[in-house]
Structure 1
Amino acid sequence: MKSYQLIHELISLVEQLEQQNPEREVTMQDFAGFVIHKVGSSALDVGPTGRLSQDVRFGKNDLAAQEQAFQLDNNIGQLFVYMSRYAKSYIKKALDNTPLITAEDFTALAILLTHDNLSKSELIHYNLQEKTSGTEVIRRLLAAGLIRQWDDEKDKRSRQIAITDQGKQLLYTVFEDMNHVGKMISGNLTVSEKLTLRYLLQKLEDFHQQHHQQKTISSKADLKRVTEAIVDQKN
């Protein structure tokens, strides 16, 4: 059967995907993005710096600095920063006329919606924030009556927090506007492009989440050590 070879290749691809994600069950969406990425990838010649196109923000001066900026890894980081800033501006508009000020206010409240309660430190950790900025988010949500807090019976040094009915009502109102934000962020990508992007972003999320959980990056020296290990592993 001519289809046998195709089935064999698909099984092989599933095995590759599982090897890359040993800690979690892969989904059909994961597999679809993985296959599209495999089939669509090609040996694109981007030159020694990985530069594909001219960024309209850059002028004509200091070409040596631009060469640094457009090295492949640096360029990817640069694009992530741009995407983050666009997303924040859209989220800010979606939160107009609500007690929620920042994207972090929204995500903190959304996290609490899915838990009976959390400690303050747990919420700050899940929301990927530093203690100072995370504490400020909690203060705002408390002042707005969107969450409540109480002393932890097992640990008197800790306080538990939970979303209030008012917080739930607000979230379900905001969700509709945030759906528009999601569509705006994914922009003019086709479904297949979205699946490929989702697969690649999930791979990056798994990588960074592991380092976040294990607190492996706490200094400039840690950054150098981990990135050198990544390069060695690729080689």
Structure 2
Amino acid sequence: MMYNLINELVTLVKTYEGSGANQAEDLHAFRKWLNSHFEDDQSSSTADPDWTGKDNGRSADSVINTSLVHLYRYAKIHAKAAITDSAFSTPDEFIYLISLVSGGSMSKTELIKQNIHDKPAGSLIIKRLLDKGLIEQQSSDLDKRSRMVQVTPKGSDHLKQSMDKIRLASAQVTAPLSSKEKKDLITLLLKLENFHQAQLVEKI
């Protein structure tokens, strides 16, 4: 028998019993308390995290910036492994295709800005996709000087062939996080991204 687990459960029941007056003796109420109890523990343990250099004055801003750079590099390593033996030379190529699949046909400028690249770097990615026949371009009905790009059937096929590996690579980046932690992180990242989008995108 799992004696250690049973002992731990008995301890939790005793804590539950003493946590407030008239605690209900049913599994649903205990389970609800249990979830809240561990969320509180988790919140208290992460409220004031420790990091290298904290005692020497290294700021939270410095740690966050460094971690974001490191995570980008880790994500790139996983993404490169996912596109081995595929039609894609770089992760940016399939990211541009995903942008077109989800957002539909758009101008080259819109596509480049959506992926936070400067114009020369974004133009090179688009050129590679055009040369491979993964996207196609045509003049805009509203502005003949503007070139609209969209995914070709060939591009859709190659993206579908790689999607399982791409999804696995994405999951590996966030592997240690719970579902709740992922949602909390999305909320924080979107807050940061929306701020910088409003401040900086026009300067790209």
Q: TM-score, normalised by structure 2?
A: 0.70
Q: What is the letter of the counterpart of residue 73 of structure 1?
A: D
**Is the Cα contact below 8 Å between 1:211 and 1:217 reproduced in 2?**
no
Match of 1:71 in 2: 59
The one-letter amino acid of 2:61's match is D
Pairwise mapping of residues 1-235 of structure 1 onto structure 2 (< 5 A)? 40-42=42-44, 52-54=50-52, 67=56, 70-189=58-177, 191=178, 194-215=179-200, 218=203
Q: 1:85 to 1:37 in 2, by over 3 A?
A: farther
Amino acid at match of 2:132: A
CA distance in 2 between partners of 1:178 and 1:44 (Å): 31
Kindly tell me the number of residue pairs found equivalent between the two proteins.
169
Give me the whole-angstrom Cα distance separating, in 1, the residues matched to 2:146 and 2:185: 38
Structure 1 distance, partners of 2:93, 2:39, is 34
In structure 2, C-alpha distance between the alignment counterparts of 1:96 and 1:103, rounded to whole Å = 10
> Does the 8 Å contact 1:149/1:159 carry over to 2?
yes
> By how many angstroms is 1:37 displaced?
7.0
The alignment yields a C-alpha RMSD, in angstroms, of 3.1
Instruction: Give, in whole Å, the separation in 2 of the partners of 1:216 and 1:173.
Output: 32
Q: Do the aligned residues in 1 keep the contact of 2:133 with 2:155 (CA within 8 Å)?
A: yes
Supply the AA of the counterpart residue of 1:203.
Answer: L
Aligned 8 A contact 1:37 1:196 in 2? no
Give the Å deviation of 1:217: 8.4
Contact 1:146 1:163 in 2 (8 A): yes
CA offset at residue 44 of structure 1? 6.2
- Matched to 2:135, the amino acid is I
SS of corresponding position for 1:161: strand
Larger Rg: 2
How many angstroms apart in 2 are the aligned matches of 1:43 and 1:88? 30
Paired with 2:196 and 2:121, the residues of 1 have a C-alpha distance of 20
CA contact (8 A) 1:146 1:164 kept: yes
* CA–CA distance in structure 1, aligned partners of residues 116 and 201 of structure 2: 14
Separation (CA, whole Å) in 2 of partners of 1:216 and 1:154: 23
Superposed displacement of residue 115, structure 1: 3.7
SS at match of 1:148: strand
Consecutive unaligned residues of structure 1, counting only runs of 5 or more, are: 4-35, 55-62, 220-235
